[in-house]
A and B are shown apart, each in its own frame.
Chain A
Amino acid sequence: DVKVTQSSRYLVKRTGEKVFLECVQDMDHENMFWYRQDPGLGLRLIYFSYDVKMKEKGDIPEGYSVSREKKERFSLILESASTNQTSMYLCASSSGQQDTGELFFGEGSRLTVL
């Protein structure tokens, strides 16, 4: 069964803390994505990566950075967490070879910044 695993389901952090969100996929997918999901808004793309060590900014990259040192792992980093980064963070992956570009999502990481 295909799987995208996010390291933490729930996190509570304080303003100014550094936050790491890890995502691992076991499908040998080329593409990996980080989204945030907020009530009343569509999923918004933070960053994506189409290959190891490659990254592209999405719609809302400010305040975030990413790392992809291995094909299966894509990390999202909040250098200095702020309250407006309280959100649900979703990692996804897709194969560059698939016709549909179907995304496979992780269970999500709900981050609360106090």
Chain B
Amino acid sequence: GQNIDQPTEMTATEGAIVQINCTYQTSGFNGLFWYQQHAGEAPTFLSYNVLDGLEEKGRFSSFLSRSKGYSYLLLKELQMKDSASYLCAVLEGNYQLIWGAGTKLIIKP
């Protein structure tokens, strides 16, 4: 069946690096998304991976391994404003996104 797994909660220190993992089992694959969602706000797009490898965008990087059904989001030089939930989602067909439950990231000073 369809399944997206990511840790429920993670804690990290300001200035440090954190890696949020996402594993997936879906019947189709047309790409993997990461979204950021601050409490009480709408999710906003962070990254999209469809080919294996690392995509870097400033302090944030996203990695994909299709053969392993695995992705991670890497956040460097953590800032307090990075405290948010991070949502992993797989595009199964043309429109159907399968979403993980999200990882709540807590940043401590």
Binding site for B on A (CB under 8 A): 4, 31, 33, 40-45, 48, 50, 56, 58, 90, 100-108
Contacts and interface: CB of A to CB of B under 8 A. Distances in A.
Interface of B: 4, 8, 30-31, 33, 35, 40-45, 48, 87, 89, 91, 94-102
Nearest to B41: A107
Contact of B99 (A31, A42, A105, A108): A42
B44 A105 contact: yes
Contacts, number: 56
A102 B91 CA distance: 10
Contacts of B40: 108
A40 B33 CA distance: 19
A42 B95 contact: no
A42 B42 contact: no
Contacts of B94: 101
A101 B96 contact: no
A105 B43 contact: yes
